[in-house]
Amino acid sequence: MNSAASLAREEIRQLKPCIHGGEVWNIIGKSVLDREDILDFSSNINPLGPSPKAIKAIRDNLGLIPSYPDPDSTALRDAIASSIKGISRENVICGNGSIELIYLFADVFMSKGDMALIPAPTFGEYEKAVRRTGARPKLVKLSTAFKVEPSLFTREMKSAKAVFLCNPNNPTGILTPQATIAEIIEEALSENVLVFLDEDFIEFVDEEKRFSFAAEIKRYPNLFVLRSFTKFFGLTGLRVGYGVADEEVIRVLSAAKAPWNVNCLAQVAAAAALQDMEHIRKSSRLTKRERKFLASELSRISVLKVYPADANFLFIDVRQSGLTAAQLKEKMLRYGVLIRDCTSFAGIDEYYIRVAVKTRRENEKMLQALKKALSK
């Protein structure tokens, strides 16, 4: 037999893994640090963790484990639909993390010969999901201030099958105004192009600025809006996310998805989390206050350029420090703080880092570590 790897489809053989933050498991394997010794500022999760109501729902439903879960996450889809104006369960699909839906969307809609427009820099999995289908990603650079330039997308629209957007964007944390997103969706609609809009971080945006397109899917049959229970709701390890779109889009995606993709505990915990308004408000308040604190403290460090942020993380240019992001990450790890070196993101050089917004005590520890790392 030839090597098994040579039997894989060509586009699979050429895939490269996508690098992510939160690699604490990797680090504890290689260093003297224990899990509890590392403050993880590289992944952007609500520092308050999941809602106590979600944890209670898990405890109360452990008896479900010996049975298969609802293959279509019906009760959870109902709970999601009632949290978004004007939509019903038929407009919702749930996934094993929102990541499953990125791959499912690409698998269902893209194939060899197709092209997808993807901003740069942004979350790396869109590109990988597109490449995996044999289709071609075309990267569209953001402006020097990391803003989405709608004309750069609309001018390529005719030859595209789909456009991927992330709002607020990862790794920059910048929120694209609703008029810009609408302009791209409308141009896409007139050219029969799909828009995949990742709103995984939208719950962290201040209410007065927050504008989700999840309630706009009736206006835009070409739109798929992605959301997650990983970030704001802190159900990270349970793996649950969802997508909202026109019924027809949901129908084709649902026909292609694997059954039982969301486990029984994730389904009940996510539904309970959506209903815990107290935890939701507390998490929003904490993010708003700590993002402001962290941005202001970081801006006082003269060698750092801090970008304005709307999500729960800050994007920082460190070139004036004389260190690359990788060197700074390495130095900070000696003080037990893990930050995200953004070098792996397409479209930026090796001088950008990303840090999460956490509790005041954790943010102060990170600031101390950063100051020490920069001074030596």
Ligand X SMILES: Cc1ncc(COP(=O)(O)O)c(C=O)c1O
**Which C-beta is closer to ligand X: that of 261 or that of 324?**
261
Omega before 66 within 30 of 0, i.e. cis: no
| Residue count, binding to ligand X (CB under 6 A) | 11
Nearest distance, CB of residue 171 and ligand X, angstroms: 8
Distance, in Å, from the CA atom of 29 to the CA atom of 11, rounded to the nearest integer, reads 31
**Which C-beta is closer to ligand X: that of 212 or that of 230?**
230
Nearest distance, CB of residue 123 and ligand X, angstroms: 4
**Which C-beta is closer to ligand X: that of 175 or that of 367?**
175
The phi and psi torsions of 94 (rounded to 5 degrees) equal -105, 150
**Which C-beta is closer to ligand X: that of 232 or that of 373?**
232
Interface of this chain with ligand X, residues 154 to 173, rule: CB under 6 A = 166, 170
Nearest distance, CB of residue 233 and ligand X, angstroms: 10
Q: Does 312 bind ligand X (CB under 6 A)?
A: no
Alpha helices in 84-177 (DSSP H): 98-109, 125-132, 150-154
Stretch in the footprint of ligand X (CB under 6 A) among 93-101, 106-114, 181-189, 286-294 = 93-101
Interface of this chain with ligand X, residues 238 to 257, rule: CB under 6 A = 241
Q: Which residue has the tokens 């269902």?
A: 108
Omega before 171 within 30 of 0, i.e. cis: yes
Query: Strand 223-228 relative to strand 305-306: parallel, antiparallel, unpaired?
Result: unpaired
**Which C-beta is closer to ligand X: that of 98 or that of 363?**
98
Spatial CB neighbours of 106, under 8 Å, sequence gap ≥ 6:
116, 126, 129, 130, 132, 133, 135, 162
| CB-count exposure of residue 258 (10 Å: 0-12, 13-18, 19+) | exposed
Nearest distance, CB of residue 241 and ligand X, angstroms: 4
State the binding string over 48-87 for ligand X (x if CB under 6 A, else -).
----------------------------------------
Stretch in the footprint of ligand X (CB under 6 A) among 64-72, 95-103, 203-211, 365-373 = 95-103
The phi and psi torsions of 25 (rounded to 5 degrees) equal -65, -40
**Which C-beta is closer to ligand X: that of 73 or that of 230?**
230
Near ligand X by CB under 6 A: residue from 99, 194, 202, 366:
99
State the binding string over 313-352 for ligand X (x if CB under 6 A, else -).
----------------------------------------
369 neighbors 335 (Cβ within 8 angstroms): yes
Alpha helices in the chain (DSSP H): 10-13, 24-30, 52-60, 74-83, 98-109, 125-132, 150-154, 178-190, 247-256, 264-275, 277-299, 325-333, 360-375
Interface of this chain with ligand X, residues 115 to 144, rule: CB under 6 A = 123
Interface of this chain with ligand X, residues 175 to 234, rule: CB under 6 A = 198, 200, 228, 230
With H, G, I as helix, E, B as strand and everything else as coil, classify residue 49. coil
Question: Which residues of this chain interact with ligand X, rule CB under 6 A?
Answer: 97-99, 123, 166, 170, 198, 200, 228, 230, 241
